[in-house]
Amino acid sequence: MREIDLAVYADALAGESAALSARAERIRSKLRQAKIERRARNDLTAATVDRLASLGLLGGIDERAAHAELRELEDSLAALESCRPGSKRNSPLRTRRDRDQQARRRRRRRGRNQR
What is the predicted pLDDT for the residue at 66? 93
What is the predicted pLDDT for the residue at 115? 56
What is the predicted pLDDT for the residue at 105? 81
Task: Tell me the average confidence (pLDDT) per consecutive run of 10 residues in the chain, 115 residues long.
Answer: 78 88 93 90 90 84 92 89 64 58 78 65
* 9, amino acid identity: Y
What is the predicted pLDDT for the residue at 87? 57
What is the predicted pLDDT for the residue at 97? 62
Do the beta carbons of residue 25 and residue 71 sit within 8 Å?
Answer: no
Give pTM, 2 decimals: 0.62
Do the beta carbons of residue 39 and residue 30 sit within 8 Å?
Answer: no
Do the beta carbons of residue 27 and residue 70 sit within 8 Å?
Answer: yes
Residue extents of the structural domains in the chain: 2-84
